[in-house]
């Protein structure tokens, strides 16, 4: 899968264990629209539960929320109703999303 966006991940400590590269949480890409995305962290296999790291997200179905993202937008990272962090977009690779 090719990455759709590059982001800065900031986790808030809600998870109790390190977060592994390949993590697949939900992301709030627009109001009332959660979608799964696969994380790839630069230079790190694991991220501390309250850590910050740069990397990419590959979304499962970007066609469903086209033209809803922009550089600087912050997406919540969720497990069900629990927000475990946020991802701030620094670059968009998939032009369908911008």
Provide the number of structural domains found in the chain: 1
Burial of 76: CB neighbours in 10 Å, binned 0-12, 13-18, 19+: middle
In angstroms, the CA 86 to CA 76 distance is 4
pLDDT in tens, the chain (98 residues): 799 999 999 999 999 999 999 999 999 999 989 999 999 999 999 999 999 999 999 999 999 999 999 999 999 999 999 999 999 999 999 999 99
Please report, for the domain that includes residue 38, its CATH number: 2.40.30.10
Name the residue range of residue 74's domain. Answer: 5-97
Amino acid 1: pLDDT: 77
């Amino acid at each position: 899968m090719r990455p759709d966006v590059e982001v800065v991940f900031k986790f808030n400590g809600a998870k109790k264990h390190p977060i592994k590269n390949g993590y697949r949480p939900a992301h709030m890409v627009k109001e009332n629209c959660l979608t799964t995305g696969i994380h790839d962290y630069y230079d790190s296999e694991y991220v501390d539960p309250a850590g910050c790291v740069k990397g990419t997200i590959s979304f499962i179905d970007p066609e469903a929320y086209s033209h809803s993202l922009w550089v600087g937008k912050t997406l919540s990272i969720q497990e069900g109703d629990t927000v475990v962090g946020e991802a701030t977009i620094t670059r968009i690779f998939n032009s369908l999303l911008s």
